């Protein structure tokens, strides 16, 4: 089952420091369906890490394997150096995609129960629960039953239950789904605060801008495979930056400095727009050619590629369309 390629070296570190999660060649089949097909992931400690992909891509199954809820058919995973993540359950907090709480429990009891599952004594859990509720503006709801809360408040209570045992690693499966813009903003701030405190946060999402705004690193997952895993910057840099140039003149020797794929757009009142990828020779050489060739530069801007463009480039048009459809569906 385990091949040489899947072996995890003993030193679980990268240039970014020690790894919180390391997975090699994870494979999971459900009956005849190959849900996850050889996923490799490395999550540095203290990072905010996103798993980005459309619904059905294998995000949840990957997270469940990383947490030890299910075992992979092939491959290895290691969380904080442990091959069996269940053995360090007290270091991990998990918010599944399908949110759930006991409706008859009070808010502080619900948080304390989730803490008790991770080893926090009930009394201590209630105390911490009340503190967390106060801290997040839900002090008035401490004694309220879950069934009496709004959906957003119930989600916040569950989120606090995920954090009550002060985990070193927090795993969120589609944490933004079902939240309004206000609560999405609150959650983003909470995730950033966790990372500032040294907690590793890994979350799955099908909304690119959440990953782009929050994550240091992402894994792009499509059809059970991870075609890219690395920093968000490196993903964006896979697509050359786009130059938008505005000139008075439309001809001249300077045109040789522009790449063959350049697109031209002439303005009605005179002047021209030029769109092309930034040449490998760099901005300085290009600018020199334009000035010496008397192109009559009116404006010049370089636009770095977004994560969406990177996703299209890496995962393909079909996956990108599925991702957009999921995001629109969630928003609707």
Partner 1 sequence: MMHETARLGLWHAAYVMARRDFRAILFSKAFVLFLLGPLFFIGISLVAGTLGARAAESAAPARLAVALPQAEAAAFERAYAYLDRAVNLPPMRAVPVDSAHDSTRLLADPAANFGAVVTGSLAAPRLIGTEERLESWRGEVALIVAEAQGGGSGAIPDIALEPTKTSVATQRSARVATATGAITLLFLLTMLLAGMVLSNLVEEKANKIIEILAAAIPMDAVFLGKLLAMLALSFVGIAVWGSLVLVGVAVGGAALPALPVPAVGWPLFVLVFVLYFSMAYLLIGSVFLTIGSMAPTVRDVQTISMPATIMQLAVFFLATFAMNSPGSPVELFAAIFPLSSPYAMVARAAQSMAMWPHLAALVWQAIWVALFVRSGATLFRRKVMKSGPSKRATKAA
Q: Does 118 bind partner 1 (CB under 8 A)?
A: yes
Burial of 293 (0-12, 13-18, 19+ CB in 10 A): middle
C-alpha–C-alpha distance, residues 155 and 283, integer Å: 48
Q: Does 56 bind partner 1 (CB under 8 A)?
A: yes
Question: Nearer to partner 1 by C-beta: 59 or 130?
Answer: 59
Burial of 279 (0-12, 13-18, 19+ CB in 10 A): middle
Site for partner 1 in 65-104 (CB under 8 A): 67-71, 86-92, 94, 96, 98-104
Q: Does 150 bind partner 1 (CB under 8 A)?
A: no
What are the residue ranges of helices labelled H in 30-103? 59-67
Question: Nearer to partner 1 by C-beta: 52 or 305?
Answer: 52
Shortest distance, CB of residue 303 to partner 1, whole angstroms?
34
Shortest distance, CB of residue 72 to partner 1, whole angstroms?
12
Q: Show the tokens assigned to 78.
A: 């290691």
- In what order do the strands lie in the sheet containing 92-95? 92-95, 169-173, 200-205, 48-52, 217-222, 225-231
Q: Does 64 bind partner 1 (CB under 8 A)?
A: yes
C-alpha–C-alpha distance, residues 223 and 203, integer Å: 18
Question: Nearer to partner 1 by C-beta: 81 or 240?
Answer: 81
Q: Does 32 bind partner 1 (CB under 8 A)?
A: yes
Q: Does 170 bind partner 1 (CB under 8 A)?
A: no
Task: Count interface residues toward partner 1 (CB under 8 A).
Answer: 42
| Part in contact with partner 1 (CB under 8 A); list of ranges 27-35, 249-257, 291-299, 307-315 | 27-35
- Given the rule CB under 8 A, which residues bind partner 1? 29-30, 32-35, 37, 56, 58, 60-61, 64, 67-71, 86-92, 94, 96, 98-105, 113-114, 116-119, 223-224
């Amino acid at each position: 089952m385990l091949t040489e390629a899947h072996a995890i070296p003993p030193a679980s570190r990268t240039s970014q420091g020690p790894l919180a999660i390391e997975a090699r060649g994870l494979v999971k089949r459900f009956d005849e369906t190959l849900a996850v097909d050889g996923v490799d992931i490395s999550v540095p400690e203290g990072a905010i890490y996103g798993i980005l992909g459309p619904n059905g891509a294998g995000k949840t199954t990957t997270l469940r394997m990383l947490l030890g809820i299910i075992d992979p058919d092939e491959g290895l995973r290691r969380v904080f150096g442990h091959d069996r993540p269940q053995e360090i359950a007290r270091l991990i907090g998990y918010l599944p995609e399908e949110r759930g709480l006991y409706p008859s429990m009070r808010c502080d009891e619900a948080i304390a129960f989730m803490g008790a599952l991770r080893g926090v004594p009930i009394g201590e859990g209630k105390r911490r629960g009340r503190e967390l509720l106060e801290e997040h503006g839900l002090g008035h709801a401490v004694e309220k039953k879950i069934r009496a809360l709004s959906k957003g408040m119930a989600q916040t209570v569950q989120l606090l239950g995920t954090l009550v045992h002060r985990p070193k690693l927090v795993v969120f499966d589609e944490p933004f789904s079902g939240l309004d813009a206000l609560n999405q903003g609150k959650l983003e701030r909470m995730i950033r605060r966790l990372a500032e405190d040294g907690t590793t946060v890994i979350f799955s999402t099908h909304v690119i801008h959440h990953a782009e705004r929050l994550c240091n690193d992402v894994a792009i997952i499509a059809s059970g495979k991870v075609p890219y895993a690395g920093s968000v910057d490196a993903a964006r840099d896979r697509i050359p930056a786009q130059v938008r140039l505005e000139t008075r003149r439309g001809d001249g020797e300077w045109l040789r400095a522009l790449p063959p794929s350049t697109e031209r757009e002439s303005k009605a009142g005179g002047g021209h727009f030029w769109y092309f990828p930034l040449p490998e020779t760099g901005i300085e050489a290009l600018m020199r050619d334009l000035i010496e060739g008397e192109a009559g530069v009116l404006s010049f801007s370089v636009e770095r590629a977004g994560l969406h463009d990177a996703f299209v480039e890496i995962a393909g048009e079909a996956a990108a369309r599925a991702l957009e459809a999921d995001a629109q569906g969630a928003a609707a």
